[in-house]
Structure 1
Amino acid sequence: MKIMKPKALAMILLSASAAAALSGCSQHAGDDAETIGSKQAAVKVTDNQESRNTGAWGGVYMSRDELAEPATNIVDVSSLPTVANDPSLVKWQEKFEGTEVKTREGSANAQTEFENTNGFVTTDGEKLYHDSCAACHMHKGEGAEGAGYYPPLANNSKMQSKYYVIGILINGFRGMPSFHTMMNDEQMAAVTQYVHSELNDFTDTVTAADVAQLRHANPPGADPSE
């Protein structure tokens, strides 16, 4: 019988031990042992359709009837008032008058739109002043200082010249916009008369003809610096 050398025997025993250890890693110690596979199996599979139905995906889920309808916004706007009946808009229409509603005809998608007259309807000088001037110059014409300087119009000697006031209304002045396209001659005369006589004690009569003398065909741009 051939006797195996101790060194060779040690190598065989070491290889056998390593093989046993490696094979043991893949074997279960028992049915109740927790493994990576058992953890993955325990994870509940997500039902995406259920999450859609409960609203987690917002407006993603649609029925067959909804899919057959024309494309619309995800937000349901059917319960909102039309633009013409919007309470906030009606309020401002009453305040500033002059905005007219009409419907565009001859179109598959008729739209309700606003024909902006870009101006005022009233010829009441006091109302014109409070709607267009008082926000800066204050309701009693006392002027204001803050983010800018808004000169007083009351007790102001410059207001004695009706043509000075009319010229500023037509052309604007520094940070003040032009009212060239917002007020007609009669309206400019009315608000000038209010500033001239009510906020001051001057007695000249201001007429639409006075405004017509200074009105020109080239209104300033929207930028007051122009």
Structure 2
Amino acid sequence: MNYSKYPLMTLLASISLSMAALSGCSSKDADSATLAQPAAQPNDSANLDNSDNPNAFNVQASRNNGAWGAVYMSRDELRSPPGNIVDVSVLPTMSEDADIKKWDAKFENASAFVTKDGEKLYHDSCAACHMHKGEGAIGAGYYPPLADNSKMESKYYVISILINGFRGMPSFHRMMDDEQMAAVTQYVRSELNDYKDPVTAADVLQLRHANPPGGDASDH
């Protein structure tokens, strides 16, 4: 038959041949090597080996583990949990990490400040924003100068900000005790300014309260 005279029949014949070819490609033995299928997630109960659908693999896991492309794997290999491409055995432990050691030294191996030295407390906790000489900075935000700042005349103003935080500055309520807050306040007022009257833990205790702020203190 001359199919050129019957374009619709030509199209149907082409579709039939294509489907036959595809059917032949898929009729392989279940254990033969195939083009990589998406790999199963170990924690996905819907995709485990006992699934009713042996080809129910997790697509995203396969993409993440490089199982796509011209990679030939057996179906048993494809059913195995995806491996970790990072050799975790060569990663340093927390105790050996140089950066962790640096911060442990700064915070004296504690989750809060230990030192009572006001100068050290200032340089460890305040200088990153307000600079080591208290000159302040402008960049991603505005960090006001603490040196030569008339607001520092009131020790209770400084203590209140340390306890409650202010705008972008965090609260040190849980990180410093009364003596530490008194020490850093004394340093800011005496060394960065010229206010010499003493600041004591009792001064801090007057403003200390039971509930530290949960957000920006300036919102209250």
Query: TM-score under structure 1 normalisation?
Result: 0.58
User: What is aligned with 1:146?
Assistant: 139
Query: Which runs of structure 2 are paired with 1:1-226 in the superposition (5 Å)?
Result: 73-99=84-110, 117=111, 119-224=112-217, 226=219
* Structure 1 CA distance for aligned equivalents of residues 115 and 83 of structure 2: 41
How far, CA to CA, are the matches of 1:164 and 1:135 in structure 2? 21
1:88 to 1:142, Cα distance in 2 relative to 1, 3 A = same
Residues 166, 216 of structure 2: 8 Å contact kept: no
Q: CA RMSD in A?
A: 3.4
Counterpart secondary structure, 2:88: coil
Deviation at 1:72, TM superposition (A): 7.0
| Letter matched to residue 187 of structure 2 | Y
The answer on whether the counterparts of 2:165 and 2:171 sit within 8 Å (CA) in structure 1 is yes
For 2:201 and 2:180, how far apart are their aligned partners in 1? 8
Q: Find the aligned partners of 1:224 and 1:93 in 2 and give their Cα distance.
A: 29
The letter of the residue matching 2:127 is A
Whether contact under 8 Å (2:166, 2:217) holds in the other structure is yes
Q: What CA deviation, in whole Å up to 9, does each residue of 1:73-123 have, x standing for no partner?
A: 342211222122222211111122243xxxxxxxxxxxxxxxxx3x21111
Letter in 2 for 1:188: M
- TM-score when normalising by structure 2: 0.60
Q: Aligned partners of 2:93, 2:83: CA distance in 1, in Å?
A: 16
Q: Describe the SS at the equivalent of 1:176.
A: coil
Counterpart-to-counterpart distance in 2, 1:225 and 1:165: 14
How many pairs were matched up? 155
Compared CA separation, residues 157 and 182, structure 1 to 2 (3 A) = same
Aligned AA (1:184): D
Bigger shift: residues 129-138 or 211-220: 129-138
- CA distance in 2 between partners of 1:147 and 1:224 (Å): 20
Runs of 5+ in structure 2 lacking a partner?
3-32, 36-65, 74-81
Conservation of the 8 A alpha-carbon contact between 2:153 and 2:189:
yes
For residues 72 and 93 of structure 1, do their structure 2 counterparts lie closer, same or farther at Cα, with a shift above 3 Å needed? farther
Q: Tell me the secondary structure at the aligned position of residue 92 of structure 1.
A: helix
Q: Distance in 1 between matches of 2:199 and 2:213?
A: 23
Amino acid at match of 1:90: K
Contact 1:176 1:224 in 2 (8 A): no
CA contact (8 A) 1:98 1:120 kept: no
- Structure 1: which 5+ residue stretches go unaligned? 1-17, 19-45, 49-55, 62-70, 100-116
